[in-house]
């Protein structure tokens, strides 16, 4: 391979194929015997959810490009058609693997633990009678079967909703016999139903809604006989199309567009394993899909529905051990968060450390008569949020509350529209960021009168202000009252809300302005150091790495002798370990109990490391079409702590670590002198 040509397509892994490799790593968690049984089921469900979004967004986008005749190619030189051709066999294999794990491993093991998912063949007479009553009482009144004939065209099932195609024999009261009907499962009912104690033979017996419907589908067609009944599910394009330059009110435009997501163009059809080919062909034709878009499922067509099962079962021995996130001593020993922050910068590493100090920070600010103003960005927050409650209280107390809400946070648009309405009703000023750029930065600033001065207290983070995900995702949050960081945060808020230029930032690197060029400059500085035989290293942890110029810079760094250690959870387009190009680059992915979400960028800098935390991944969208912040850790001890916790600790992981090979596949280390898990180490060290 020509080591001088860093544009060679062979040096780049395709984004979509890399995403499927990540999915493979998630599926493998469901096979890991060291993981508690119900958590393994949860991983299988997570994989199903990831695959759903992959089709709704990524495959849908490729299909649109192909339909428009786009020949656009990325650094890997694959056209949309090339990518779609490669995706089908990989996904087919993954789907087959998922159902094999479910049917051959998880369900039998759960049954041995007394947790049973009963099919019709398993029901005894008492259970069958109860299930029939459940169907008659809960389902039959709200199901509306549609017989297919010229007066009843094929219905449009909602995106990802459960449906059945039924083949019928006989004629109805009007003499009609179309031979086929569609039954859509009510979306309002649970997909996993507990068998009540009075008819159950063990404590945890369940039945799927799909099994209940299939067993009683004939009763929906009086005087006719249902010969066969097959589950199917269609996945639709969920991209929203709003031309921000052409709309007067983004909120109203999004509200109008959201309903179309449920009925977008079909991109995938899932059918039951036993569905005959002619029936599958008929369904595919209705959705204008080809056989390459049809996936057969040896079980429930939506594995994600099984995610309810672990929550319905009280078996602590089959789940991860509980833990209590810690609160730093600096916070515990202070009368208020303002006092704690004045005593020095505070770094929280979630979920090992509690998110409560941030909520307390906002609540104290809401009640403090000396607090004049609160400014906050919100990307995802959750339906019940202490953060939102505190902001509403502050607004009702008469404080100046400004909230920048990103309405276009994918799949959270409706929740954010409702949030904006709530805040505005309480008297908060709400803005939606900058046209053409998603506001992805995680910032909060409280302005407090202290004596004759107005002082700024700032929180900057790598993750969303979402109380639930702070228990599930790894993220950093930094509290500071540093003057220069406060100045920078104020300027970023001015950019988001006020026309004009807010001035140059002194410490924070910001997308879409300085982040990309600064990262390239920092990598180039390490190259220059290596050429002078000085210590040189680039250490980074992120969710995704696909931006071509950054990858080229890392290749150049490797060629110059710079040590490059990368921890990339998901998509990575860089190929490590290529002789003469990326010999000095190692890429790891950690897949474990918590979703790795921290973005940490460290540079050797001649022995005085520069350490940054960021809301941004190394992707084109983060660098050029989002408002992002990348902020330095200035305190020496905190800087060392970040490097130890997020670089050294993760690089030494040999338990949940996957190493990327140059061919784009991932392997787990085999030789384990001593088992090391970064996440378990953090739980012991910080909780």
3-class secondary structure, 391: helix
Task: Give 573-595 pLDDT, tens digit per residue.
Answer: 999 999 999 999 999 999 999 99
pLDDT tops 80 at residue 192: yes
Average of per-residue pLDDT values in the chain: 91
Pick the catalytic residue: 216, 349, 350, 440?
Answer: 440
Q: Residue 251: which of 140, 408, 17 has the closest Cα?
A: 408
Q: What is the pLDDT of residue 503?
A: 76
Question: Among 498-502, 533-537, 592-596, 634-638, which is the least confidently predicted range?
Answer: 498-502
The first and second tokens of residue 296, run together, are: 């057969």
Report the pLDDT averaged over residues 631-638. 97
Task: Give 226-266 pLDDT, tens digit per residue.
Answer: 889 999 999 998 875 444 433 344 444 444 444 444 557 89
Task: Give 10-22 pLDDT, tens digit per residue.
Answer: 999 999 999 999 9
Q: Residue 561: which of 588, 534, 539 has the closest Cα?
A: 534
Prediction pTM value: 0.93
Q: What is the pLDDT of residue 245?
A: 39
CA atoms of 398 and 376, how far apart (whole Å) = 16
Q: For the chain, report the end-to-end CA distance as a whole number of angstroms.
A: 48
pLDDT tops 50 at residue 338: yes
- Sequence-distant (6+) residues with CB within 8 A of 553 are 519, 520, 523, 524
Residue 213 and residue 120 in contact, taking contact as beta carbons nearer than 8 Å: no
Task: Give 42-55 pLDDT, tens digit per residue.
Answer: 999 999 999 999 99
Alpha helices in 532-667 (DSSP H): 548-559, 620-624, 636-643, 649-651
Task: Give 45-101 pLDDT, tens digit per residue.
Answer: 999 999 999 999 899 999 988 888 877 889 999 999 999 999 999 999 999 999 999
CA atoms of 387 and 363, how far apart (whole Å) = 8
Topology alike, domains 9-318 and 511-686: no
- 329-503, CATH topology level: Endonuclease; Chain A (3.30.870)
Task: Give 106-142 pLDDT, tens digit per residue.
Answer: 999 999 999 999 999 999 999 999 999 999 999 999 9
Q: What percentage of the chain exceeds 70 in pLDDT? A: 92
440 given a catalytic annotation:
yes
Backbone dihedral angles phi then psi of residue 28, each to the nearest 5 degrees: -65, -25
CA atoms of 564 and 556, how far apart (whole Å) = 11
Question: Dihedral through CA 86, CA 92, CA 98, CA 103, nearest 10?
Answer: -160
Pick the CATH number of 511-686 from 3.30.870.10, 3.40.430.10, 3.40.720.10, 3.40.50.1370: 3.30.870.10
Domain positions in the chain are 9-318, 329-503, 511-686
pLDDT tops 80 at residue 347: yes
- 9-318, CATH topology level: polyphosphate kinase like (3.30.1840)
pLDDT tops 60 at residue 194: yes
């Amino acid at each position: 391979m020509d080591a001088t040509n860093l544009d060679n397509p062979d040096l780049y892994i395709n984004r979509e194929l890399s995403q499927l490799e990540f999915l493979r790593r998630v599926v493998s968690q469901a096979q890991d015997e060291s993981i508690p049984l119900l958590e393994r089921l949860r991983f299988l469900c997570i994989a199903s959810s990831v695959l759903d979004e992959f089709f709704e967004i990524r495959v849908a986008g490729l299909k649109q490009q192909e339909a428009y005749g786009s020949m656009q190619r990325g650094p890997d030189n694959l056209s949309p058609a090339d990518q779609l051709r490669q995706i089908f066999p990989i996904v087919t294999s993954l789907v087959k693997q998922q159902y094999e794990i479910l049917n051959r491993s998880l369900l039998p093991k759960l049954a041995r633990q007394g947790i049973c998912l009963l099919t019709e063949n398993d029901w005894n007479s008492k259970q069958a009678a109860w299930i029939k009553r459940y169907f008659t009482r809960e389902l039959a009144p709200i199901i509306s079967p549609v017989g297919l004939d010229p007066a009843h065209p094929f219905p449009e099932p909602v995106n990802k909703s459960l449906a059945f195609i039924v083949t019928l024999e006989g004629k109805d009261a009007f003499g009609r016999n179309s031979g086929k009907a569609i039954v859509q499962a009510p979306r309002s009912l649970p997909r996993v139903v507990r068998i009540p104690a009075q008819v159950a033979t063990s404590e945890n017996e369940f039945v799927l809604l799909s099994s209940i419907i299939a067993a009683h589908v004939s009763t929906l067609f009086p005087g006719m006989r249902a010969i066969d009944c097959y589950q199917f599910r269609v996945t639709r394009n969920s991209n929203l199309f709003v031309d921000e330059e052409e709309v007067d009110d983004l909120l109203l435009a999004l509200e109008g567009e959201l309903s179309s997501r449920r009925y977008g163009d079909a991109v995938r059809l899932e059918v039951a394993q036993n569905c005959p080919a002619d029936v599958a062909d008929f369904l595919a034709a209705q959705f204008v899909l080809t056989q390459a878009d049809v996936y057969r499922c040896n079980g429930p067509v939506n594995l994600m529905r099984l995610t309810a099962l672990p929550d319905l079962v009280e078996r602590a021995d089959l789940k991860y051990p509980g833990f209590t996130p810690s609160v730093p001593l600096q916070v515990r020993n202070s009368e208020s968060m303002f006092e704690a922050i004045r005593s020095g910068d505070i770094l929280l590493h979630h979920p090992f450390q509690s998110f409560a100090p941030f909520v307390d920070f906002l609540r104290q600010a809401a009640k403090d008569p000396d607090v004049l103003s609160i400014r906050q960005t919100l990307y995802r927050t959750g339906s019940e949020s202490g953060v939102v409650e505190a902001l509403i209280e502050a607004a009702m107390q008469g404080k100046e509350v400004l909230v920048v809400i990103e309405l276009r946070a994918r799949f959270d648009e409706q929740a954010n529209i409702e949030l904006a309405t709530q805040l505005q009703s309480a008297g908060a000023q709400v803005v939606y960021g900058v046209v053409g750029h998603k506001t992805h930065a995680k910032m909060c600033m409280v302005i407090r009168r202290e004596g004759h001065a107005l002082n700024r207290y700032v929180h900057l983070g790598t993750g969303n202000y979402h109380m639930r995900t702070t228990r599930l995702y790894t993220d950093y949050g930094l509290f500071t009252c540093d003057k220069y960081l406060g100045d920078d945060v104020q300027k970023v808020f001015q950019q988001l809300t006020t026309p004009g230029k807010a001035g140059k930032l002194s410490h924070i690197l910001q997308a879409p302005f300085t982040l990309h060029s600064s990262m390239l400059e920092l990598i180039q500085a390490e190259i220059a150091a290596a050429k002078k035989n000085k210590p040189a290293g680039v250490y980074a942890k992120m969710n995704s790495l696909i931006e071509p110029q950054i990858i080229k810079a890392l290749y150049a760094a490797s060629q110059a002798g710079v040590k490059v250690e990368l921890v990339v959870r998901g998509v990575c387009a860089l190929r490590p370990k290529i002789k003469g190009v990326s010999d000095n680059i190692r890429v790891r992915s950690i897949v474990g109990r918590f979703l790795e979400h921290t973005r940490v960028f460290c540079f050797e800098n001649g022995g005085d490391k520069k350490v940054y935390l960021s809301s941004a991944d190394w992707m084109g969208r983060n660098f050029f079409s989002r408002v992002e912040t990348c902020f330095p850790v200035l305190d020496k001890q905190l800087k060392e702590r970040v490097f130890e916790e997020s670089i050294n600790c993760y690089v030494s992981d040999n338990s949940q670590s996957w190493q990327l090979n140059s061919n784009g596949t991932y392997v787990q280390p085999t030789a384990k002198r001593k088992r090391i898990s970064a996440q378990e180490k953090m739980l012991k060290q910080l909780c």
